[in-house]
Amino acid sequence: MRIFHVYIMANKRNGTIYTGVTNNIANRVYQHKHKLVPGFTSRYGLDRLVYYEEHNDIRMAIAREKQIKGWTRKKKLALIESLNPHWNDLSDGWD
């Protein structure tokens, strides 16, 4: 069974955020942290994993990603802070 993750990266508390979906969270976070993929996360230095959730179905994960992306910034920040009030990097120690 495959696991898919919807995740949010940030550059600092209440800073710029990015929502994505992946089937390999550790690898994707590594790519963001080391700016291996040009684009939004590299440009804004989004290197802190501040939120993630698991899904067993890629369609559900994509739907959830789209749902979160459609939210207001205020609602996205509330989601992060509901599980990670200090905006810790949840990937610390993964390497």
Residues contacting residue 33 through CB under 8 Å, at least 6 positions apart? 47, 91
Q: What is the pLDDT of residue 94?
A: 83
pLDDT recorded at residue 12: 96
Does the pLDDT at position 59 exceed 90? yes
CATH number of the structural domain 4-83: 3.40.1440.10
| Residues 49, 89 contacting (CB under 8 angstroms) | yes
What pLDDT does 25 receive?
Answer: 97
Q: pLDDT, tens digit, for every residue of 30-50?
A: 999 999 989 999 999 999 999
Whole-prediction pTM value? 0.95
Domain edges within the chain: 4-83
The secondary structure element, H or E, covering residue 18 is strand 17-22
In this prediction, residue 20 has a pLDDT band, given cuts at 50, 70 and 90, of: very high
